[in-house]
Amino acid sequence: MTVSEIIKKHGNERENLLAILHQIQAGNDDNSLHKDQLQQLAEIMDIPVADIVSTASFYTMFSLKPRGKHIIRLCESPPCYIMGEENILTALENCLKIKLGETTADKMFTLETTSCLGACGVAPVMMIDDTVYGELTEEKTVAVIKSIVDKE
Ligand code: FES
C-alpha cells in the first residue's frame, strides 16, 4: 500500500497519525520508517515533517533506522530483571551474535529492550513481533529463536 492509500484508509486527521505510521512501518521489510515516506506524509496531512519525526522518535515501537525482519523486545522492568532478565539478554546476544540494539548480519533479528509488557506474572518475558514469550530460561529463549529461524 502506498502512503497516500494508507492515509486514505485511516483518514487525514492528525489523531490517526500513530495508526498511519504503524501501518507504513509494517509494510517496510526493514521494520522502519523511511525519510521519503515521512516527507510524503507531511505533505499530504499538512503537518510539519519535524512534528512527524519527533512523534516517530518518541515511541519506541517506531524506528527511523533499518531493523531486522523480527524485532525482539526483552523486558527490563524490575519484576523481569529480578527473575533473571540479564541472563536472558546474554543468551540472546550469544545466540544471535549481536549486542543489544544491533541487527543480525542476515537482517533477520533486531535486539531491543522494553519496559513492562504487562505479563509480569510469567517473568522474565520477551516479545518477538506480536508474540509474548514468558517464563524464559536461557534454553527456552534459544529454542524460541531456533523455531523462528526454522520457519523461515
Ligand atoms: S516487568 Fe516484565 S512484563 Fe512486567
User: 53, exposed or middle or buried, with CB in 10 Å at 0-12, 13-18, 19+?
Assistant: middle
Strand ranges for 29-152 from DSSP E: 70-75, 109-114, 126-128, 131-133
The model's pLDDT over 45-57, given as tens digits with 9 standing for 90+, comes to 999 999 999 999 9
The model's pLDDT over 24-40, given as tens digits with 9 standing for 90+, comes to 999 998 999 999 999 99
- Domain map (residue ranges) of the chain: 3-58, 70-151
Question: CATH number of the domain at 70-151, please?
Answer: 3.40.30.10
Strands 126-128 and 70-75 turn out to be antiparallel
Spatial distance between the Cα atoms of 1 and 27, rounded to a whole number of angstroms = 7
- 78 Cα nearest atom in ligand 1: 1
Give the chain's count of helices (H) and strands (E). 7, 4
Predicted TM-score of the model (pTM): 0.84
CA angle at residue 93 from 118 to 59, to 5 degrees? 45
The model's pLDDT over 67-121, given as tens digits with 9 standing for 90+, comes to 999 999 999 999 999 999 999 999 999 999 999 999 999 999 999 999 999 999 9
Mean pLDDT for the stretch of residues 13-32: 94
From 72, 77, 89, 131, give the residue whose CB has the most ligand 1 atoms within 8 Å, as the site to mutate: 77
